[in-house]
Structure 1
Amino acid sequence: MQERSFPKNFIWGAASSSFQIEGTVPGDGRGPSIWDDFCAQPGRIRDGSNGLVACDHYRLWPRDVELLSELGARAYRFSMAWPRIFPEGRGRSNAIGLDFYKRLIDSLLEKNITPWVTLYHWDLPFALERKGGWRNRNTAFAFADYAAYCVAQLGDRVKHWITHNEPWCVAVLGHRLGEHAPGLQNPRAALETAHHVLLSHGLAMQRIRELAPDATAGITLNLNPAYPATPGKPEDEAAAHLFDGDFNRWYLDPLFRACYPEDMIQHHENQGALGPRGWDFIQQGDLKTIAQPNDFLGVNYYSRTVLGERSAAEKAAQKDPLHYTAMDWEIHPEGLQDLFVRLARDYPVKAWYITENGAAYADQLTADRQIHDAHRLRYLALHLDQVAQVCARGIPLKGYFAWSILDNFEWAHGYEKRFGLVYVDYASQERIPKASFHWLKEVIAANKVFDVL
């Protein structure tokens, strides 16, 4: 790895999400979300925890803004909690909840940190779940109303909007595999959810264009490049293509081509995922609505997936923190460049942003209250090296948001997994910047990545 520079106006930032850090659940008029309900179900969260306090960001946000400023972040990607704004999902708004975000945004702007607001990062108001949640087409229109309200109230302050974070997780983890809220295991529900989330994106984009024509807006997808374990082996190649269709193309194609991939339509039908009602949830005009022009696409990249039988050496490496993170995700930085080359070829857009990239490790607090997270630092360095190479190719990759600014509630893993640049002592809520924080601060200041290996 060599020292590499980034474009002059490259945007450096960090990211978070509302349910993972805010806490104050319930409080100040916030309604319950599907994750509050999910956490209350025994056995759903590995450590039995919940988001009632999380990082107490709702109260401690001034300290967190100071940390972002200390890092040198030029942008902060955070999400608004839909049930904090509309406790019932729609109808009556909650002024106290909106005021929280106004104070946060104003403080960011005072520090010359640009707010990038994600409107939905998985915390659906539970009142809407009782009416069918994302399986109910009406939820797409409720989301568009929520988005329009936020843009109308905050559009003078916020110029960068992301409609959704990772529709694949909402659909597949939440509705097919049951690992995330609302915890369903229903293939048809997953397909309905994916479609209605994408439809809500298109509807929201229309409202954003009407209310804030000077704003930039898009969506964030988690994309995972698929590789055959043995290149050229027909069954491995076929498995990789199928995975790519389910994980990546099922979301990219409707957004940028106004269609679902034909091979995956056939696959779902062959699997009997639809039942007797078929594709009746896709109505005329939906795909045109979904394919609204995007100013950018946010990409969350963490790892790759290899399909087929791996070698004994590769299997042995799965316990090595140089090759796998604490999430058991393979460290494969080259996949990031492979992904963007493919995206630029097949789905050209005006701009790309890496809206999440990071790694979980079992960070240990030393006696002198330091965190020497060398593995995370190495992970970031390797991936930023690839980011710089993507930029050098002329691909319009405009910015990078590290995940995450804080250790936080990691969904079904509870507080067992730490992704943060800043260590959070959950008992005291003390924030302690890690070695990776200080290293990334130097990278941002120099606008170049350093060899740390």
Structure 2
Amino acid sequence: MVKRADFEKDFVWGVAASAFQTEGAVEADGKGLSIWDEFSRRKGKIYKGHAADISSDFYNQYTRDIALMKSMHINNFRFSISWSRIFPTGTGEVNAKGVDFYDRVIDLCLEMGINPWVTLYHWDLPLALQQKGGWVNRDIVDYFSDYVAFCINHFGDRVKQWMILNEPMVYTGAGYFLGIHAPGKRGVDNFIPAIHHSALSQSKGIRIAQSLRTGLEVGTTFSCSAIHPHTASQKDLNAAKRVDALVNRLFVEPLNGLGYPMQDLPFLRKIEKYMHPGDEIALHAEPDFIGIQNYTREVVKHSYFTPYINSSLVNAKNRVDEVTEMAWEIYPQAMHEMLHQFSKYKFKKLYVTENGAAFPDIVENGKVHDIKRINYLQSNIAEILKAKKEGVNVEGYFVWSFTDNFEWAEGYRPRFGLVHIDYESQKRIIKASGHWYSNFLADL
């Protein structure tokens, strides 16, 4: 079994969370509505009509949660700032009470010896900006830049690690193409400009943060999945190549100065309509790190009926005996594969900024048994160690998630947390996996 002592002492270990999924208090103390506040009120969009109005109530329970984190030997906490808690309409006047909340969270983390890692955008766009077009509107680049600058100027004296965007492929694809996430827009004419304006915001945000303060580590995060062909046929091999370009390469390659992967995804040529002079250069930045977020792999096959990519996923339930509550295959080798794939871009360093699994919690006599989660985490950490020994410059690992929370369109059904939340009483119970991680971190 892999041990913490197998890694260098300066390898970073932590947990992750996001504002919308945990904070609740959706309109408290001057906060403006986000696209997820509005989307989760639409009938039929969220599992059983769940909403994040309270969730795990981090806004009111943060002192309790951070103290719990400290007791578990966790000394790095990745969380996000709610844009609409700082700027209720996305721009203009600052909400002082919102700023004060994050000041208190950051200061308490530091007091407890916990290093705050802050994500600036974890999908909760201010609703007022969506009413102006959201990520489809090029003005979003300027609105976002102002927000980044404010946060770096105000919090950057204490927060040294920053992530600009969280998984841009997911929020543009699910939110602006498939319509299954907020803001519920559909079609390639929404998707294409949302891609470009997110990519521009990503690179500009990195440059702004780096220019405003020295001594920061500034990066961004990407979702990724190992993409494997269903058969060895050329059609399936080509299908896998297209899906890999869409899922794993779409945002990292322009950031790396390689441009969009148009050769493998010809429909991306539509993006040229939204390109302004100088955009090719503006897409490129030099982050101090990249966060990769891997949970599983996908197996794909050729499909005549899927527009733009002519590929379809082979359902994991039809391929393997056991899947997670998200219907994802348990395939830890994907972590090893993706670390190697992203290392080829030669970024300064990599962190695994999310990894975890949703399994049913078995609650008995005040204890939560989740052996499957322990096995999942152990096997993924082993794959990270393997990649590291092979020369991949991976320098840290964050479990998703610290507590159970609102899992977007899936509501409260899937539980990813190391800490169980009883949503009725807000009682916290450290799960067996949380105790395991605590003991793992204590093992020096």
TM-score range for the pair, normalised by the shorter chain length:
over 0.9
Cα distance per residue 1:273-316 (max 9 Å; x no partner): x4xxx622121222322211010000000011111399x99755
SS of 1:388 mapped into structure 2:
helix
Where does 1:273-352 land on structure 2 (aligned, <5 Å)?
274=270, 279-308=272-301, 318=320, 320=321, 323-345=322-344, 347-352=345-350
Q: Specify the code of the residue in structure 2 equivalent to 1:287.
A: E
Residue aligning to 1:263: 263
Q: How far off is 1:206 after superposition?
A: 2.1
- Cα distance in 2 for partners of 1:236, 1:20 equals 37
Q: Does 1:382 align with 2:379?
A: yes
- Cα distance in 1 for partners of 2:393, 2:57 equals 36
SS of 1:280 mapped into structure 2:
helix
Where does 1:205-220 land on structure 2 (aligned, <5 Å)?
205-220=206-221
Q: How far off is 1:268 after superposition?
A: 4.1
Q: Are the aligned partners of 1:161 and 1:217 in contact in 2 as well (CA < 8 Å)?
A: yes
Where does 1:362-441 land on structure 2 (aligned, <5 Å)?
362-366=360-364, 368-441=365-438
Residue aligning to 2:69: 68
- Cα distance in 1 for partners of 2:76, 2:91 equals 29
Residue aligning to 2:86: 85
Q: Are the aligned partners of 1:356 and 1:403 in contact in 2 as well (CA < 8 Å)?
A: yes
- Cα distance in 2 for partners of 1:383, 1:252 equals 23
Which deviates more from structure 2 when the two are superposed, residues 201-210 or residues 242-251? 201-210
Q: Are the aligned partners of 1:13 and 1:77 in contact in 2 as well (CA < 8 Å)?
A: yes
- Cα distance in 2 for partners of 1:316, 1:81 equals 38
Q: Specify the code of the residue in structure 2 equivalent to 1:245.
A: A
Unaligned runs of 5+ in 2: 303-311
Cα distance per residue 1:10-51 (max 9 Å; x no partner): 100000000000011111000000001101110010120111
Cα distance per residue 1:298-343 (max 9 Å; x no partner): 0000011111399x9975564x4xx411100111111111111222
Q: Are the aligned partners of 1:317 and 1:324 in contact in 2 as well (CA < 8 Å)?
A: no
Unaligned runs of 5+ in 1: 448-453
- Cα distance in 2 for partners of 1:194, 1:73 equals 35
> How much is the aligned-residue C-alpha RMSD, in angstroms?
1.8
Where does 1:238-253 land on structure 2 (aligned, <5 Å)?
238-253=238-253
Where does 1:120-135 land on structure 2 (aligned, <5 Å)?
120-135=121-136
Q: How far off is 1:216 after superposition?
A: 0.8
Q: Are the aligned partners of 1:119 and 1:162 in contact in 2 as well (CA < 8 Å)?
A: yes
Q: Specify the code of the residue in structure 2 equivalent to 1:373.
A: D
Query: Is the alpha carbon distance of 1:209 and 1:66 closer, same or farther for their aligned partners in structure 2, counting shifts above 3 Å?
Result: same
Where does 1:97-246 land on structure 2 (aligned, <5 Å)?
97-230=98-231, 232-246=232-246
- Cα distance in 1 for partners of 2:282, 2:258 equals 8
- Cα distance in 2 for partners of 1:288, 1:237 equals 32
SS of 1:248 mapped into structure 2:
helix
Q: How far off is 1:344 after superposition?
A: 1.6
SS of 1:218 mapped into structure 2:
strand
Q: Specify the code of the residue in structure 2 equivalent to 1:348.
A: K
SS of 1:303 mapped into structure 2:
strand
Residue aligning to 1:360: 358
Query: Is the alpha carbon distance of 1:313 and 1:108 closer, same or farther for their aligned partners in structure 2, counting shifts above 3 Å?
Result: closer
- Cα distance in 2 for partners of 1:194, 1:237 equals 25
Q: How far off is 1:267 after superposition?
A: 3.8
- Cα distance in 2 for partners of 1:61, 1:287 equals 42
SS of 2:48 mapped into structure 1:
coil
Cα distance per residue 1:156-209 (max 9 Å; x no partner): 111111000000111100011111000111112112111111111122122212
SS of 1:116 mapped into structure 2:
strand
Query: Is the alpha carbon distance of 1:245 and 1:314 closer, same or farther for their aligned partners in structure 2, counting shifts above 3 Å?
Result: closer
* Percent identity of equivalent pairs: 40
Query: Is the alpha carbon distance of 1:389 and 1:27 closer, same or farther for their aligned partners in structure 2, counting shifts above 3 Å?
Result: same
TM-score by length of 1: 0.92
Query: Which consecutive aligned stretches of 4+ in structure 1 deviate over 6 angstroms post-superposition?
Result: none
TM-score by length of 2: 0.94
Q: Are the aligned partners of 1:336 and 1:383 in contact in 2 as well (CA < 8 Å)?
A: yes
Q: Are the aligned partners of 1:258 and 1:290 in contact in 2 as well (CA < 8 Å)?
A: no
What number of residue pairs does the alignment pair up?
A: 433
Q: How far off is 1:140 after superposition?
A: 1.2
SS of 1:412 mapped into structure 2:
helix
Q: Are the aligned partners of 1:250 and 1:264 in contact in 2 as well (CA < 8 Å)?
A: no
Query: Is the alpha carbon distance of 1:430 and 1:225 closer, same or farther for their aligned partners in structure 2, counting shifts above 3 Å?
Result: same
Q: Are the aligned partners of 2:79 and 2:117 in contact in 1 as well (CA < 8 Å)?
A: yes
Q: Specify the code of the residue in structure 2 equivalent to 1:136.
A: N
